[in-house]
């Protein structure tokens, strides 16, 4: 059903995201990285599955937790890590930091941490695609917390009204920063949000990369033939803190998530699930996985070295980029 190469590429992307995120833990704890990093560990299947169903030309918009989206869409790893070190060689030239990564060359049009702030922007990109008739699809990645914002519902209505090629991709990790979903929302029914607006809406296991891929592929097809928008709620869990490796490590004890809950979700680690599947189906051997891991680790290490050696932005250029010169 799937080609071997395709399955391997999915796993490779997930592994790359995981190893990239985990490589940030130590420099964050040592204070080498100061920019607030919202790690994607545990949610890799979503970015990977969604972006695998998109073309390079399709558009995505991200949020505060977007390293995974950047990597999955094909952004340059060195530039990502350099941006996290806030260096001039970073994808945003050190002006954006971890929460503002961008790779327009592969259709990643920007990430921004104002919760729900980029949803309407993605709708705008979809509107442009419709006007131009270029068949591009836009994806807006946002968290469960963003569904508390009014602009989410305004955007659903407008996108539905104009039949725009947009996928609303909600990554529901059950926590809006530290507040559990049950305290933010009357019902755990985010996927139903699209229904009153006539937007086909689905709830998907966000820790199963193939399910994510299949659902997105269908949504993309609908969008391409003018049957968008589509809302996909991906159920997942972050295995690290809201910001930084672990909210408790820094002595803040702000992670109020029950230990048992975290342990339960560790058993559903998307990377482990997919690895087990690939081994069982003999797509990959353990040795091949180890080799792949070693290669990616080297690549990540190299990216860190590149970032560390890179210069900071020049103080003389503090005021550059406020406006584009006409």
Partner 1 sequence: MCSKKIRKLSYSLAINEALHQMMEKDSSVLLIGQGVKSPWYVGNTARGLLDRFGPERVIDTPVSENAITGVAVGAAIVGMRPIVVHPRMDFMLYALDPIINEAANWHYMFGGKINVPVVFWGIINRGGEQAAQHSQALHTFFAHVPGLKVVMPSTPYDAKGLMISAIQDDNPVVFVDDRWLYRLEDDVPEELYSVPIGKGIVRREGKDITLIAISYMAVEAVKAADFLKQEQGISVEVIDLRTIKPFDKELIFESVRKTGRVILADVGWKMCGFMAEVAATLVEEMFDCLKSPIKRIALPNVPAPASRALEKHYYLNAEKIIKAVLELLKGEEVMYGVQSALL
The binding site for partner 1 (CB under 8 A) comprises 59, 61, 90-96, 100, 102, 104, 109-110, 112, 114, 117-131, 138, 150-151, 154-155, 157-158, 161-162, 320-326
Q: Pick between residue 158 and residue 191 the one whose CB is nearest to partner 1.
A: 158
To partner 1, the closest distance from the beta carbon of 116 in angstroms equals: 9
Bridge-partner residues for 235, per DSSP? 172, 205
Distance from the first to the final alpha carbon of the chain: 51
Q: Closer CB to partner 1, residue 161 or residue 256? A: 161
Of 54 and 239, CB closest to partner 1: 54
Token reading at 6: 């395709």
We find the least distance from the C-beta atom of residue 198 to partner 1, in angstroms, to be: 14
Q: What is the distance between the alpha carbons of residues 40 and 27, in angstroms, rounded to a whole number?
A: 16
Task: Return the number of the residue (57 or 254) whose C-beta is nearest partner 1.
Answer: 57
Compute the distance between CA of residue 176 and CA of residue 173 in angstroms, rounded to an integer.
8
Q: At its nearest, how many Å lie between partner 1 and the CB of residue 123?
A: 5
Tokens 């809006």 -> residue: 176
Smaller CB separation from partner 1, 87 or 240: 87
- Considering the complex, state which of residue 162 and residue 218 has its C-beta at the smaller distance from partner 1: 162
What's the CA gap between 245 and 64, in Å, rounded?
Answer: 15
- What is the dihedral sign for C-alpha 17, 18, 23, 24? positive
Report in angstroms how near the CB of residue 35 gets to partner 1 at its nearest.
12
Minimal distance, residue 282 CB to partner 1, in Å? 43
Nearest CA to 80 among 47, 124, 129, 55? 47
Residues β-bridged to residue 111:
62
Give the shortest CB-106-to-partner 1 separation in angstroms.
12
Q: Smallest distance, Å, CB 101 to partner 1?
A: 9
**113 vs 245, beta carbon nearer partner 1:** 113
Instruction: Give me the least distance between CB of 150 and partner 1, in Å please.
Output: 7
Of 282 and 326, CB closest to partner 1: 326
User: Is cis: bond before 146, omega within 30 of 0?
Assistant: no
* Closest distance to partner 1 from the beta carbon of 165 (Å): 12
- Comparing CB distances to partner 1, the nearer of 94 and 244 is 94
């Amino acid at each position: 059903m799937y080609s071997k190469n395709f399955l391997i590429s999915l796993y490779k992307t997930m592994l790359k995201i995981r190893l990239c995120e985990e490589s940030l833990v130590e420099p964050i704890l040592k204070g080498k990285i100061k920019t607030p990093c919202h790690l994607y560990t545990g949610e890799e299947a979503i970015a990977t599955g969604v972006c695998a169903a998109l073309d390079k030309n399709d558009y995505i918009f991200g949020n505060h937790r977007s390293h995974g989206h950047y990597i999955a869409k094909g952004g340059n790893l060195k530039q990502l890590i350099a941006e996290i070190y806030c260096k001039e060689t970073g994808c945003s030239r050190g002006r954006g930091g971890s929460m503002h990564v961008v790779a327009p060359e592969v259709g990643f049009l920007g990430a921004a941490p104002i919760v729900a702030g980029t949803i309407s922007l993605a709708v705008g990109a979809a509107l442009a695609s419709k006007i131009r008739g270029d068949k591009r699809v836009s994806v807006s990645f946002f968290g469960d917390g963003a569904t508390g914002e009014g602009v989410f519902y305004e955007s659903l209505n407008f996108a539905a009204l104009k039949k725009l090629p947009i996928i609303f991709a909600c990554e529901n990790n059950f926590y809006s920063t530290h507040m559990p979903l049950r305290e933010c929302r009357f019902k755990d029914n985010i996927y139903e949000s699209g229904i009153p607006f006539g937007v086909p809406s689905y709830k998907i296991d966000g820790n199963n990369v193939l399910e994510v891929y299949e659902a997105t592929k269908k949504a993309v097809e609908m969008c391409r033939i003018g049957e968008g928008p589509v809302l996909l709620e991906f159920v997942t869990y972050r295995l690290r803190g809201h910001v930084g490796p672990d909210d408790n490590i820094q002595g803040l004890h702000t992670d109020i998530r029950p230990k048992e809950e975290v342990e339960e979700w560790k058993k559903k680690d998307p990377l482990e699930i997919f690895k087990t599947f690939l081994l069982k189906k003999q797509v990959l051997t353990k040795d091949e996985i180890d080799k792949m891991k070693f290669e990616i680790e080297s690549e990540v290490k190299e990216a860190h070295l590149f970032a560390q050696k890179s210069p900071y932005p020049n103080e003389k250029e503090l005021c550059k980029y406020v406006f584009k010169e006409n």
